[in-house]
Amino acid sequence: MKIDKNKTTGAIKDTKLDWYIIDATDSNLGRLSSKIVYLLMGKNNINYLPHNNTNISIIIINSKKIKVTGKKNKQKTYKRHSGRPGGLKIKPFNKLQEKQPNKIIEHAIKGMLPKNTLGKKIFKKLKVYSGNEHPHQSQKPVYLNIK
């Protein structure tokens, strides 16, 4: 029996689900999002494999207090299209932050995740709340200080 030493073996599955809570108050949008994606994909884990889904869920609170640098408050726009003629909707950053602050962080993080089914599964493990309260106290989330 010949053993192939060049074969990659899969990581050991951990059944424990880790919950982390991150406060987005006065954080920079891009820097915070990239650190969150790094955690969601499990790149901080020693058993990281790009095709594996991790057991990490992240709760983001105070999303309405996120900051951007420069003139992005007035210049950055978010576009969506209904698919119909004339269906393009454009909203500037400051209007979207007033009405739907969760969409800003979700949009930034979703753009950094893989564009496949694994990316969709990872994105479902992200929970964003505009206020200080969240309904996940029973999961006993650990507070992470990312600045």
Q: Residue 78: which pLDDT band, with cuts at 50, 70 and 90?
A: very high
Q: Residue 111, CB half-sphere, CA atoms under 13 Å: how many?
A: 11
Range of the domain at 57: 18-45+53-68+113-144
* Residue 33 placed within a domain: yes
* Residue 3 placed within a domain: no
pLDDT at 147 over 80: no
Q: End-to-end distance of the chain based on CA atoms, in angstroms?
A: 53
* Residue 30 placed within a domain: yes
Element (DSSP H or E) covering residue 121 = helix 117-123
Find the CATH number of the domain harbouring 39: 3.90.1180.10
* Residue 124 placed within a domain: yes
* Residue 7 placed within a domain: no
> What is the per-residue pLDDT across 85-121, written as a single tens digit (0 to 9) for each?
999 999 999 999 999 999 999 999 999 999 999 999 9
| pTM greater than the 0.85 cutoff | yes
Residue 127 near residue 134 (C-beta atoms within 8 A): yes
pLDDT at 80 over 80: yes
Beta-carbon contacts of residue 21 (< 8 Å; ≥ 6 apart): 58, 59, 60, 61, 134, 136, 141, 142, 143, 144
Given the structure tokens 């009405």, which residue do they identify? 99
> What is the per-residue pLDDT across 34-75, written as a single tens digit (0 to 9) for each?
999 999 999 998 888 999 898 999 999 999 999 999 999 999
Total of domains in the chain? 1
* Residue 64 placed within a domain: yes
* Residue 31 placed within a domain: yes
* Residue 98 placed within a domain: no
